[in-house]
Amino acid sequence: MKALRHLLSMEDLDRDNIEYLLNLTAGYVEVSQRKIPRIPALRGKTVALAFYEDSTRTRISFATAASRLSADTITFDAKRSSVNKGESLRDTIETISALGVHGIVVRHPDSGASRQVCEWTDVVIINAGDGRNQHPTQALADLYTARAHFGALDNKRVAIIGDIKNSRVARSNAIGFTKMGAEVIFVAPKTLLPPNLNGWPVAHTHDINEVLDNIDICYLLRMQLERSAAAAIPTLREFHHEYGLTSARANRLKNDALIMHPGPINRDVEISGEVAERPNSVIGEQVANGVPARMAVLFALIGSRLDLVDSESAVA
Ligand code: CP
């Protein structure tokens, strides 16, 4: 297992790291179900949440995860900060670090921002989404959710469908599912795929109808309108017609296939509102598992060395 100081990308994790974090997540699912879902694992530690881009799920679940581990949190909202007076990312990170925090969770619109931040501080950095690049804690929550249903992910077939070009979730999940032994296929029009897929551990197709009958996970992506995705398609209505998970398409999935989406959903764009509510849609579980998955990451990086901790002491 690799020793880790930060969590910046799913590329940084080997299969043992991922399995370790998923097993730790299972322990934190149990903690989260207790009458008082709080343990002292990170008592005395402080985690800063530095969000330069909007977020509901990731920000709230990191705050909840830190609280359940008894860590203190500092929330930095770029829109209500001295960033508006021109303060740079570097000066902001150095300022937060000077407060004596033990970890900084960073969301930023620029790809590579979290890795850059590591050069300016000795504090543990956790990437909560950087531009189109990576969203590793989303991938860990998703891998946990899928593994909880299937037991193991080896040889499972995962279709990741939609706005792949703009999606950090697609990149992190393609790496994560592949490392866990699954096969990943990207499904998108040419205009919503990265220009070059060389080196990607994935197959791809432009036809959603080719994959529906024989996949175990149908993973829809949000159309990222804030990153100009609409310019890559004729209309949202036509995209739904060609690539959306409509009721008719969802009926073709295997009975035990999971429907996944990282949220927030554009209903009736990438997925029909009716399909999002079906029993095999695990979108709500992905959100719920975001808390224990982030507890696992916080504990592993801030509470202990990832290569030394034993999982029983992590949940006591
Ligand atoms: N899935 C996800 O990252 O959602 P938020 O943008 O709401 O955090």
Handedness of CA 293, 298, 304, 307 (dihedral sign): positive
* Ligand 1 lined by 57 (C-beta under 6 Å): yes
Among this protein's residues, is 5 annotated catalytic?
no
Q: Rounded to an integer, what distance in angstroms lies between the CA atom of residue 6 and that of residue 226?
A: 28
Q: Cα dist. 140→59, 176, 177, 185, 251 in Å?
A: 15, 8, 10, 19, 28
The predicted structure's pLDDT at residue 247: 98
* Ligand 1 lined by 290 (C-beta under 6 Å): no
The predicted structure's pLDDT at residue 229: 72
Q: Name the strand (E) or helix (H) holding 217.
A: strand 217-220
The predicted structure's pLDDT at residue 310: 60
Structural domains for the chain: 10-135+290-314 (3.40.50.1370), 137-286 (3.40.50.1370)
Cα of 58 from ligand 1 centre, angstroms:
5
* Ligand 1 lined by 56 (C-beta under 6 Å): yes
pLDDT along the chain (316 residues), means of 10: 93 97 98 96 97 97 98 94 95 97 97 98 98 97 98 98 96 98 97 91 96 98 81 87 97 98 96 97 98 98 68 69
3-state DSSP call for residue 300?
Answer: helix
3-state DSSP call for residue 163?
Answer: coil
Cα of 97 from ligand 1 centre, angstroms:
25
Q: Name the strand (E) or helix (H) holding 31.
A: helix 15-32
